[in-house]
Structure 1
Amino acid sequence: MARADTLARAKTLDRPELAYLVRFRAADGTTDMELTWAELARDTVWVTEGLRGHGLAAGQRALLNNSGFEGFWGHAVIGALRELKVTYGIAEAMGWDHRRTAVFHRELNPHAVIGLSAETLEGLAGAADIAEMFRSTSVVLARPAALPVLRGLGVPAALITAVGPALALECPERRGGHVNAAEWRIGERDGELFVAAGEQRTSSLPETPLGIAGRVVTGRCACGGEDPRVLLAEADPSLSPRS
């Protein structure tokens, strides 16, 4: 049977609502919650708008640094890139795969690099001029530990990171990572973040302390968005947990 026929037949089969079992690190250890296909579809729509806000559009190219266990947000980012008709390549976010990041960056000449990690930067440091490499990239979305390194080199990177089971995505204003308020309730207590399922989320999650030092900023962002924003101490060393 041809692949097209197989895919067509597969689409007619019943599919369980459950898409992923998300395991994330919380203050008291690892926690699991379910992620349905409907929730993933809504997450993809939200990420699509976030990437569109950074200027991603059809015909551009992107490099995604993502690991398999991060599928709960990586899948949404991939879906967003496909929706925007952006060609993409994927390299592991682990340091041992830094050479693939270098090759994809050279061959793709990407408009955007998404999910850049400190481990990847450490691997690249001995073989590439990181400042020269990423200053020419229009959009760099990096993980918290990579941000101080990149910004110290003059690369105006923005934040992308998992906050428990949620995704924080910074807009071009670079005033903290937006979190989808329709899907998540994000807050802070004693200088540390907590998360809970929002009103639209069908998968339940009670208020869960994450053990992540940071602050939450509410109110309208300069980009026009109303979603709350997280400011992480790891991403900005000048932030103390209680500042």
Structure 2
Amino acid sequence: MSRDSMAAAMAGRHPQLAGIAQFVQRDGAKVTFDIGWPELERDTLWAQRLIEVCGLAGGDHVLVTGRNAEGPWLNPLVDALRAGRITFSTAEPYGWDAKRSATFLSLLPINAVIGLSGESAQGLTADEQIVERLAKVPLIWARPDGVGPLREVGVEPATIAMLGPALAAECSPRSGLHLDPDEWRVERAIDGLTLTVVGDRAFARRDIALGVDGEVDPTPCRCGLPGPRVRLVY
């Protein structure tokens, strides 16, 4: 072990791995994957570009709803918020924690909500006052199962999704989900979307069956982010 590796290990940081996570393929198989430090840094830089084109800036306040196990997908966004001096509060994406999200929405000037789940959306939309507050939030990134409940009450969210090991999110024009094209390639197969790792990552895999369907739009997005976009069917 090198001197740098020994120092990193003693400091509680694995010299090669930033984390280990797991996703479920279309066939139900659970796939465990490693995450290296360089790729985590690149993911954070991409997340910074994403939040910038979505209009978030220093002084804003963001509500992030996520599980601890979702850190490999959400931590780059959280680190991007920190880098941009954007204040954030956190809540769990479960129905039983919807009251905490509602409290933040009632008491704080929330400029964006990240990761709103179906359970949370159903809990929040039961309160008319919270629905009025949600309608005034400039950016809501809802998971696919949270989009429907929000639309039913007149709130139009953007979509955020964990596609295998990749994070995908819509920008302000809301014309499909962006992924970092230097790290991932999404294609449509006969039985749904597949993901291939194209970046230099600890986990390298081709044609991951994502278990979702949709279309891949190769045309440039007017937000300026590079690469194709994915329009999910849900």
Q: TM-score, length-normalised on structure 1?
A: 0.86
Residue 209 of structure 2 corresponds to residue 209 of structure 1: yes
1:158·1:170 contact (CA, 8 Å) conserved in 2? Answer: yes
**Residue 225 of structure 1: aligned partner:** 225
Query: What's the CA shift string for 1:24-43, capped at 9, x where partnerless?
Result: 01112111211111111111
1:61·1:86 contact (CA, 8 Å) conserved in 2? Answer: yes
1:192·1:215 contact (CA, 8 Å) conserved in 2? Answer: no
Q: Give the fraction of aligned pairs with identical amino acids, expressed as a percent.
A: 35
Query: What's the CA shift string for 1:127-174, capped at 9, x where partnerless?
Result: 444531211111111111222332343323111111111011101110
| Cα distance in 2 for residues equivalent to 1:26 and 1:106 | 38
Question: How many Å apart are 1:191 and its aligned residue?
Answer: 5.0
- SS of aligned partner of 1:31: strand
State the one-letter code of the partner of 2:133: M
Q: How do 1:36-75 residues align onto structure 2 when only pairs under 5 Å count?
A: 36-75=36-75
State the one-letter code of the partner of 2:65: N
| Cα distance in 2 for residues equivalent to 1:20 and 1:195 | 20
Q: How do 1:56-135 residues align onto structure 2 when only pairs under 5 Å count?
A: 56-135=56-135
**Residue 16 of structure 2: aligned partner:** 17
| Cα distance in 1 for residues equivalent to 2:97 and 2:203 | 34
State the one-letter code of the partner of 2:228: P
Residue 197 of structure 2 corresponds to residue 197 of structure 1: yes
- SS of aligned partner of 1:145: helix
Q: How many residues are aligned here? A: 226
**Residue 165 of structure 2: aligned partner:** 165
| Cα distance in 1 for residues equivalent to 2:196 and 2:34 | 13
| Cα distance in 1 for residues equivalent to 2:67 and 2:150 | 21
Query: What's the CA shift string for 1:102-126, capped at 9, x where partnerless?
Result: 1111222211111111110112233
Cα RMSD over matched residues? 1.9
Which has the larger displacement, 148-157 or 218-227?
A: 148-157
Question: How many Å apart are 1:206 and its aligned residue?
Answer: 2.5
State the one-letter code of the partner of 2:212: I
| Cα distance in 1 for residues equivalent to 2:99 and 2:37 | 33
- SS of aligned partner of 1:211: coil
State the one-letter code of the partner of 2:98: H
Residue 31 of structure 2 corresponds to residue 31 of structure 1: yes
Question: How many Å apart are 1:202 and its aligned residue?
Answer: 4.1
5+ long unaligned stretches in structure 2: 1-6
1:180·1:228 contact (CA, 8 Å) conserved in 2? Answer: no
| Cα distance in 2 for residues equivalent to 1:115 and 1:23 | 18
| Cα distance in 2 for residues equivalent to 1:34 and 1:11 | 17
Q: TM-score, length-normalised on structure 2?
A: 0.89
| Cα distance in 1 for residues equivalent to 2:95 and 2:114 | 15
| Cα distance in 2 for residues equivalent to 1:128 and 1:104 | 15
